[in-house]
Amino acid sequence: MKTQIFKVDSDNIDNTVIGKAADIIKSGGLVAFPTETVYGLGGDGLNPSASVKIYAAKGRPSDNPLILHISDLSQLSPLVSEIPENAKKLAREFWPGPLTMIFKKSDAVPKETSGGLNTVAVRFPENRIAQALIRAGGTPIAAPSANTSGRPSPTRASHVEFDLSGKIDMIIDGGACEFGLESTIVDVSGEVPCLLRPGSITLEMLREVLGRVDVDKAVVSKLDTGELPKAPGMKYTHYSPSADVVIVRGDRDKMVHKINELISQVESSLKIGVIATEENKDRYKNCEVLVIGSIKEPGTIAANLFKMLRKCDYHKIDKVFAEGLCEDELGLAIMNRLKKAAGYCIIEV
Ligand code: AMP
Ligand code: MG
């Protein structure tokens, strides 16, 4: 299959391209498109065969459900069996935006889309190109991240092209994604709301609106054998570049010293990279420094994380040391992705 690629400017959306993309969605095909979180691989979420195609293109396990994307609040009620009060509060505050909520599903959602669960994940994205596509398609769009399963999520159209060219019908190139981490996922289907995946809508922001919000264990730590995360996708290995990744975290000077010490111990034939913040980038020796953003602006780190993990592969780096961050606010989401990329290998200093 030949994948068509079109550039679209979100300030001046070309409706001919959106129309073509919507026709592909309506006829059961797949279109990758930008959202404010990461690029999504979209198909008609109510068409079981489109969902099956999404799993195949990504190589995604079929028990890992898809998020349905809507462009208007009125599209929510047909997908769910009830809209709890907590969901209404979160929607008022954070939709459209980088927040996904889990509801009890209605019969309209095919089991192929919900991964066989009796719940469904729904998000109302803010990105204008995403909204235009969903509106034109006239259906909720199922859209997981548009990467090959296991690889870092795509934050640029070139990442999607690298992973999925030849496997999908179209890529809409809308430039770099604003937030760069996948959406926050909150389960609002039970008594107490529960954070299943941290993102740019932080736990602190959710608690400010709802009061009590529990946190699924998979958000912060590796699960024991036999334990299952509440978001099925959180059990799979993720984000891993081919390189071996180690996180070093602690007092700034000690951390820099430890990373330099670890570099000096690596076999000389191996290529070493350090994922470093702006503040420390000039302090590492005998390695390639990948600058990820500034500690003072965690949003820059979130926006660059997946690009840096992909860069480790492009630059054929064998061993990566990454500076660890504090796990509050946006740091919780960044560290959640980084820990998975490192297979939970963290040295605290
Ligand atoms: P992605 O679309 O690649 O960002 O992945 C979607 C994430 O949402 C995966 O971790 C899924 O397991 C999770 N998810 C989707 N639907 C549900 C659901 N009904 N219950 C719990 N988690 C879900
Ligand atoms: Mg994903």
Residue of 134, 102, 103 lying closest to 33 (CA atoms): 134
d(CA 218, CA 202): 16
Q: How far apart are the first and last CA of the chain?
A: 50
Task: Out of 30, 58, 67, 79, give the residue to mutate to test ligand 1, the one with the largest number of ligand atoms within 8 Å of its CB.
Answer: 67
CA angle at 289 for the pair 176 and 317, rounded to the nearest 5°: 85
Counting residues of the chain whose pLDDT is more than 70, the rounded percentage is 100
pLDDT of residue 180: 97
State how far Cα 121 lies from the chain centre.
14
- The answer to whether 32 and 87 have CB atoms below 8 angstroms apart is no
Q: Of all protein residues, whose CA lies closest to atom 10 belonging to ligand 1?
A: 233
Q: Of all protein residues, whose CA lies closest to atom 20 belonging to ligand 1?
A: 231
pLDDT tens digits for 250-301? 999 999 999 999 999 999 999 999 999 999 999 999 999 999 999 999 999 9
pLDDT tens digits for 12-49? 999 999 999 999 999 999 999 999 999 999 999 999 99
pTM value > 0.95: yes
d(CA 84, CA 120): 14
CA angle at 213 for the pair 212 and 215, rounded to the nearest 5°: 140
pLDDT tens digits for 192-251? 999 999 999 999 999 999 999 999 999 988 888 888 889 888 877 677 788 999 999 999
Q: Give the residue carrying structure tokens 């599903």.
A: 105
pLDDT tens digits for 89-129? 999 999 999 999 999 999 999 999 999 999 999 999 999 99
* pLDDT (mean) for 127-149: 97
Please give the helix or strand (H or E) that residue 72 lies within, else none: none
pLDDT of residue 226: 86
Rg (CA), the chain: 20
**Binding pocket residue ranges, ligand 1, CB within 6 Å:** 64-65, 67, 102, 114, 117, 119-121, 144-145, 182, 185, 196-197, 230-234
